[in-house]
Structures are given as structure tokens and as C-alpha cells.
Chain A
Amino acid sequence: MSTNATKKEGEGFQVVTSTVAVLPMENIDTDQIIPARFLKITDTAGVGAHLFEDLRRLPGGSLDPEFPLNRKEFRDAGILLAGRNFGCGSSREHAAWALAGSGFRAVVSVSFADIFRNNALKNGLLPVAVSEGTWKALASVASRGGEVSVDLEKLEIRWQGGATAFEIDAFARTCLLNGTDELGYILRQDEKIAAYERRHVREVLT
């Protein structure tokens, strides 16, 4: 992956520029992203090692050379272009961790499942919904090994010869740009929590 696609600790998400790995299948569910047998792993990087474990491998366990993410040219991709309804199924946050843990910063699809989208936004992984037309244009760029930029600041995707705007939840955008996740936001709610606790104690005591 190019340097500017690597997330540094505490650094906000401005632009990711990278090659694009393509998984055109629709409805890639959370069991494909990270099979349930790996859910006991609780560290992000550990989960990342098993991203798409069953899709990556042939029966017998060897890596499938045809699987896009196993191909040399996509091994460092920081952007995943996936078929519609990506991330359907379980609420497992491991799905977002596995993608982030193996270096992806953005997933582009025509649509995302609700819980996956929320989990991704909380883990520095940007889910970008695009039109069918843009999807096809990006797939074409990816097939030539071209780079694509996902610009969160300008809410724009750019590639050689094209660009398009995208939309993202404003709150999530702010969190990502500031390099804080929702936990960071909650820390800033500290005074709210303290006020609640003072009130609560009073209620309990009376």
C-alpha cells in the first residue's frame, strides 16, 4: 500500500490513495468476511490475518491464486471495491476489524448492510456508497492496476479521468477527520457523564 494509505496512530483520515482490490460478488456476508471460528480472537490485527479466510483458500487449505486479494498486484490495496449489500449478516465488529487489520481504509460498494456500515465507521474504515456507474468505472480502473483516491475532506472519489462526489454521515465524517472514533467522542462527553452521575446518585439516595 502507498504510504499515504497507512493510518498512523491518532492521525485523521483525509485522503486514501491506493490500488483497488475488487470482489464483485454481491451479498458478501460477515461469515465470508470473517468466519465465526475466529471470533474468539479479540485483537484487531489478529483478526486481520483471517480476513476472507474461506474465500482465500482452496479446498485443502492452500491459497487460491485466483482470489483477487491473493494476487500480487492487489496485495497492498487499501481500497476494496465490493459487490452490493456488502457486510450483510451478523453484528460482529470483527468484520470491520478484519478489513482494517489487514490494511483496508475504505470499502466501496453500491450498498452496505446497516450494522456493518456503523461498525466500519467506528473503526477508521470508510464505507463509501456509489452509483452503479461509478462502481463500473472504478472496476475498470482497478483492472488496469490504477490508483484511486478517496477524499473524505472533499467527499470525493478521484481516478485518472474521472471523479465523483459521495455522501457520508456528518458525525462519522467529523470523527474520522479528527482521527477520533466514537470512543473519543464519548470522552468529550465526560462532563455529561459526570452530571448524570451526580444526578443519579442524588436520585438513588433520596
Chain B
Amino acid sequence: MGMTIVEKILARASGQAAVKAGDVLEPKVDLAMSHENAALVVNQFLEIYKDTGREPRVWDPSRVAIIFDHRVPAESPKTATNQKKVREFVARHMISKFHDIRGDLGGICHQILPESGYVRPGAVVVGTDSHTTSHGALGAFAFGIGATEMASVWTLGFAVNIEVPATIKVVVSGTFPAMVGPKDLILHIIGKISSQGANYRVIEFHGDTIKRMSTSGRLVICNMSVEAGATSGIVPADEETVTYLREEAGVKDALDLVQPDGDAVYQQVIAIDVSALEPQIACPHTVDNVKPLAAVAGTRVNQVVIGSCTNGRLDDIAMAASLVRGKKVAQNTRMLVFPASGRIYQRALDAGYIGDLMRAGAVVMNPGCGPCLGVHEGALGDGEVALSTTNRNFKGRMGNPTGEVYLCSPAVAAASAVTGVITDPRRGA
């Protein structure tokens, strides 16, 4: 019987010839990622060794990645002290894949991992962040875990008690209409299958639309697969993946482009044609409350946010800049832009996008998670409405339980920043 791509990856990581959905395994981990919550992992990790008389030791320091992104620079002494503790741990345990708060090498973990060449096709990647699913964009099996589970990975080098998930195959065909793209596609899928439609399952993306999609776009759809409840999203690696890893991430070693078998068993197959897809909006307060833009056009917006691990890449910023160039952000609307990494920020500066955005009135912030989870900056006032390219619109997400968050593509966000109301970018701002 054939295997899905994740079954193949897990079989290899567990030293077995074949596995199937439902099997329970202990797969070796190729990369273990944490952000500031590494502070919690460190606590649990030290707890494992307490009273054992053994020196705490990370199984392989070269396979642990720690990236500061959630609260950068620190917003409080407590955060700064947590970051300091992690820094000390990193030095003591010689963890090399560490990205501190820096303008050159810093950024959001889900952008730093791909652009630094840390993720390879066929790898098992775990992260103490639910959006670790992003890295399926490069053909890896990547999923989120808690701090305690990560401490066990740091100790053992493998994940304990992993049940092989069943897979939903999503076949996407057609060419996106102008101003419609990967974000609209994934919002459409989440709206269609609901926020629990892929619970405990992997979404494997196929079809000519995916074949033509850039790695940046694939990161968007895999990133938000978790919003449909998926354990992970994954795009089988192809020429685009190789080009990205060689040219963007500087990877030189041999790549193994793991593919699913032709006779793999899928729990469900969903076909989607994007040729007539409308811009999509996820309305408050669940990500699966998705409507075509027309249903909410004209809604007054107090804050527009463009950035995050979902949509803070160069093509997103280029799109936003092109829509506000020579125009002004509407009165009484704030436009916040935060690139996903220092590298992207620098390129956006060099290309003139940052200048376009600032001259239009946008506030360009440092790379990081910024306003997305509402703990650092860019909080909403009581009853305010945000339109955001981020990935969650849960009640209170942007720091205020009375605020409302709508999710959309960078094109919709930028067009709406100019008008101050939710606006179809195809109609012009």
C-alpha cells in the first residue's frame, strides 16, 4: 500500500520500511525550534535532570533553533530577563542556530528557519509554536508541540508517542485572478472545512496552482493549515523548493525531494479551482468565519496590520507598497507594517518599498510578531476594528477583548488602509 508524504517521512525517521495512519512512533527529530518560550522549555528540561546526578545535556545543539520574535525588543523587564536566561542557556549549551534581537539576522522564527536553510525536504521539524506548520512549505513534516514535549525532545532527540496522522489531499487548480492569491486560497479552504475540519490530520497540497506558487505563497498556506485544525500542511518539494533552498537559503548539500506514492491512501480529497476566487475575509472572532470581501466591504477600519509569519515577506510588502504609492493612509486609520525578517526589511528598503509605505503614512516596525498576539505593541482601543494579514482573529487577540480583527491578504489590507474601510483592491483604493 502506498504512503502519503508524511507517512514516508515518519517511516524513515523511525527506521521503518512502512508506516500507516494510526501507527504510534518515536521519530527522530531533525530540527527543534523555540522562540522566547524556550525559557519554559529550559525550566522543564532542567526538571528532567533534577536529582538524577546527571549533567543536563541537549541531545544535539546543532539541531536546536531558538529565535527571539514574540516580544522584540523586550516590552518589560520580565521579558528581558527571560530572554537573558535563554541567552545564557544558549551559550552554555552551544546552541548555534540562535537568532537574537538583531537588524541583520533577526526576525520571525517561521521566516528565519526557511531563509537560513535550516529546513530540508523530508525533515521532521518540531516547534513550540502552533504555526510551525509553515515549514511544510519546503516538504518537511513540521508541527507544533508544547514546552514539556520540547524538553523531552531536547533530551532524547526524538518525539515520544507520535501517532501518524491521516492526510487530506487538497488539489488546487487554475490561475488566481488579479489581486487574489495564497492568503485568499487558505482562508477559503478554512472557511470551507471549518476550524476543526482537519483536526489530527495533515493537509497535503497538490495541483498546478501549487506547482506555480512561490515558496513565499506556500509558506502562507502551510502556516495557516493549523487554523483548520491540521497537525501540519505540506507541499511536496519540487524545482521551486530546490531553487529557493539553493538561491535564497544558500543550501549546498544534497536534497532528497520526498514525494508521496501514487497509490497513497488519503482520508479525503478536496478539489479547488481558484480561477474565480474572490478576495476572502475571515470575520471576528474565528478564522473559519470566512466571507467574500463583498459581504463586509465598507466596514470602518481603525488599524491595518501588514506583516507576521503569514504575510510579512517581500512579495507581501511589495504588494502593499504598490497600492499605497503616491497615496495617503486614511485619516483616523493607522497602518502598521512589520517585515518578517531583517533580511526582508533590508531588501524592502533597497527596493524603495519602505519609503513608499512611510510616505503614505504607514508606520514601519521592526521584524517580529508585533501586534499579532497583542502583547507587545499595536494594541487596539476599546471597540476598535483591525484589518490584518496575520493568522488569528480570536477575541482579544490584538490585546483588547472588545476589539475586532478581520483577516485578509496584503492587497486587501493595503487598499483598505488608503480608504479607511474594507476595500476590494481590484476596484482601486
Give A58 Cβ to nearest chain B Cβ, in Å: 11
Known: A115-B146, A122-B148, A182-B148. A193 touches B231 (CB 8 A): no
Give the residue of B37, B40, B229, B394 whose beta carbon is less than 8 angstroms from that of A85.
B229
- B156: A residues at CB distance < 8 A: 186, 189, 192-193, 196
The distance in angstroms between the C-alpha atoms of A39 and B382, with both chains bound, is 22
Decide if B160 touches A182 in the complex (CB within 8 Å).
Answer: yes
Q: Is A202 an interface residue (CB 8 A)?
A: no
From 27 to 70 in chain A, residues with beta carbon under 8 angstroms from any chain B beta carbon are 27, 29-32, 35-37, 39-40, 42, 54, 59
Interface string of A167-193 (1 = CB under 8 A from B): 001011000000001110111011011
Give the A interface residue count (CB, 8 A): 47
From 238 to 295 in chain B, residues with beta carbon under 8 angstroms from any chain A beta carbon are 286, 288
Query: Could you say which of A72-80, A87-95, A99-107, A132-140 contacts chain B?
Result: A87-95
Q: Is B48 an interface residue (CB 8 A)?
A: yes
Decide if A40 touches B57 in the complex (CB within 8 Å).
Answer: no
Q: Is A114 an interface residue (CB 8 A)?
A: yes
- A31: B residues at CB distance < 8 A: 392, 394-397
The distance in angstroms between the C-alpha atoms of A118 and B24, with both chains bound, is 14
Question: Chain B interface residue count: which class?
Answer: 35 or more
Decide if B152 touches A182 in the complex (CB within 8 Å).
Answer: yes
- Which residue in chain A gives the minimum CB-CB distance to B53? A190
Interface residue SS majority, chain B: loop
Decide if B147 touches A114 in the complex (CB within 8 Å).
Answer: no
From 9 to 50 in chain B, residues with beta carbon under 8 angstroms from any chain A beta carbon are 24, 37, 39-40, 43-44, 47-48
The distance in angstroms between the C-alpha atoms of A32 and B392, with both chains bound, is 12
Decide if B396 touches A54 in the complex (CB within 8 Å).
Answer: yes
- A118: B residues at CB distance < 8 A: 145-146, 149
- Which residue in chain B gives the minimum CB-CB distance to A37? B375
Known: A31-B394, A114-B199. A186 touches B155 (CB 8 A): yes
- A169: B residues at CB distance < 8 A: 161, 163
- A142: B residues at CB distance < 8 A: none
Decide if B229 touches A88 in the complex (CB within 8 Å).
Answer: yes
Decide if B155 touches A29 in the complex (CB within 8 Å).
Answer: no
Decide if B394 touches A89 in the complex (CB within 8 Å).
Answer: yes
Q: Is B96 an interface residue (CB 8 A)?
A: no
- Contacts A39-B37, A39-B375 aside, 4 further interface pairs with beta carbons under 8 A come to A37-B375, A88-B195, A118-B145, A190-B52
A-B contact pairs, 28 of them (CB 8 A): A27-B195, A29-B286, A35-B401, A36-B375, A36-B397, A37-B399, A39-B375, A54-B395, A59-B382, A90-B373, A91-B128, A91-B132, A91-B146, A92-B146, A93-B147, A93-B148, A114-B200, A114-B231, A115-B146, A118-B145, A122-B148, A171-B24, A183-B48, A183-B148, A185-B160, A186-B155, A186-B156, A196-B157
